[in-house]
Structure 1
Amino acid sequence: MKKIDETEHVESNKVQVILFSVLIFLLFTLLVLVILLSFTGTNVFEKSKELSEKIPFVSQLLDKSDGKIQDSSTKDIQAKVVGLETEITNRQAEIKKLESLIESRDKKLERIELEKQQLEMEIEELREAQKINNRAFQDIVKTYETISPKKSAPIISKMGDEEALKILSSIKTDKLAAILEQLTPDDAARFTKLLATKSSAD
């Protein structure tokens, strides 16, 4: 029995040695082929991929594994690109909105500045007109002060109350008294009353 076991053990060892020898020889041959092909400029990995694609079962496995990796990574990249493009579009819309807001505010400020300038010009024109009116009125008052009360009294009595009051209140007191003496008693009373009301209001 022992001899039979030993012979089986020896035979199995011989088979293993032969298998390992063949495997080592094949690996060595493959290595030499890879080195030779790389020296000739042939891309061994591309060639192996082409060969594997020709073998039906292997090509299906490779396609499935590559497809999953490519699909998932491509989808992720596409999703990121879409997200970034959306963000860029949103940012551009915000920028345009802010630019239009700034532009409208600038236009509003320009309009306000123009209105302010126009108002200042109008105020200046009114002041000039007021100065001219004041000078003209002062000239009128001086004229009434220079002419005799006998001549000025009938003119004042024909004026409206407001105009007459304005002139009479600006004339010197002694000249005013002389003009009131030349008026009719009713006119003198009316103008005296108006002057008293105006002085109490001032």
Structure 2
Amino acid sequence: MVKRNKSSKSMEKAIDDSKGISKVKMFFYWFIIPFLFTLFILLLVAQLTNINVFEKAKEFTGAGQPQVVTDDIKTGRLEKKVVSLQAEIQEREAQIDKLQTELDNSSKSNESLLIEQQRLLDEIENLKREQTSSKKEYSSIVSTFEKMSAKTAAPVLTKMSDAEALRILSSLKPDTVAQIFEKMTPESAAKYTELMSK
């Protein structure tokens, strides 16, 4: 019976020890591990948002208050710094206004240049159309002279300006020009031949 008591006591002690260990495990599982996990998450968030945890802790505890600020306030240096910074801000604002004015002027200048460019492009297009129509008219005049008899074409050409007659004669076929020269006076034929040779 004494043996049973010893063995039952040792079993009870073992059960008590296992309960003690399980209480420690439960404490770790329910408190320490969640606390460490939460701390890890908070530090990770602080790192991602660029928050310095140690400086925030100093702010809350009041440690590390700079003595320089109180000295500056006492000596009036801080006021001088504020005045100089305000002057610098005003100078920068003036520079910004100047640059904004230059930018506005540049924009207006660019707009006027674009309008002028568009006007010139329209004018070029009109000139091209006029040139095309005048080429068509000129080619129809040349074809008309080619269809006319030499006897009829010769007096017409002699009545025209030298430049216009020369232009038409230069565009005609050589056979047609020869026939027209035959019907002209020798002086007129010589004059136009000389002009065509230049």
**Shorter chain as normaliser: what TM range?**
0.5 to 0.7
Matching of residues 1-202 of structure 1 within 5 Å: 73=74, 75-197=76-198
* Counterpart residue type for residue 192 of structure 2: F
Following TM superposition, by how much is the alpha carbon of 1:75 offset from its aligned partner in structure 2, in angstroms? 3.0
- Residue number in structure 2 paired with 1:28: none
Following TM superposition, by how much is the alpha carbon of 1:70 offset from its aligned partner in structure 2, in angstroms? 9.7
* Bigger Cα Rg: 1
| Residues 125, 74 of structure 1: alpha-carbon distance in 2 compared, 3 angstrom cutoff | farther
- In structure 2, what is the Cα distance between the partners aligned to 1:110 and 1:73? 57
Q: Is the 8 A contact 2:154 2:183 kept in 1?
A: yes
Please list the CA deviations of residues 2-30 of structure 1 after superposition, one character each: whole Å capped at 9, or x if unmatched. Answer: xxxxxxxxxxxxxxxxxxxxxxxxxxxxx
- In structure 2, what is the Cα distance between the partners aligned to 1:131 and 1:173? 25
- Residue number in structure 2 paired with 1:66: none
Following TM superposition, by how much is the alpha carbon of 1:71 offset from its aligned partner in structure 2, in angstroms? 10
Following TM superposition, by how much is the alpha carbon of 1:195 offset from its aligned partner in structure 2, in angstroms? 0.7
Structure 1 gaps of 5+ residues are 1-68, 198-202
- In structure 2, what is the Cα distance between the partners aligned to 1:154 and 1:104? 64
User: Under a length normalisation based on structure 2, what TM-score does the superposition of the two structures give?
Assistant: 0.61
| Residues 146, 80 of structure 1: alpha-carbon distance in 2 compared, 3 angstrom cutoff | same
- Return structure 1 stretches of 4+ with deviation > 2 angstroms: 69-78
* Counterpart residue type for residue 182 of structure 2: E
Please list the CA deviations of residues 43-76 of structure 1 after superposition, one character each: whole Å capped at 9, or x if unmatched. Answer: xxxxxxxxxxxxxxxxxxxxxxxxxx99963732
Please list the CA deviations of residues 88-113 of structure 1 after superposition, one character each: whole Å capped at 9, or x if unmatched. Answer: 10000010111111111222222222
* Counterpart residue type for residue 181 of structure 1: E
* Counterpart residue type for residue 124 of structure 1: E
- In structure 2, what is the Cα distance between the partners aligned to 1:108 and 1:70? 55
User: Under a length normalisation based on structure 1, what TM-score does the superposition of the two structures give?
Assistant: 0.60
| Residues 71, 174 of structure 1: alpha-carbon distance in 2 compared, 3 angstrom cutoff | closer
* Counterpart residue type for residue 149 of structure 1: A
Q: State the number of aligned residues.
A: 129
- In structure 2, what is the Cα distance between the partners aligned to 1:104 and 1:85? 29
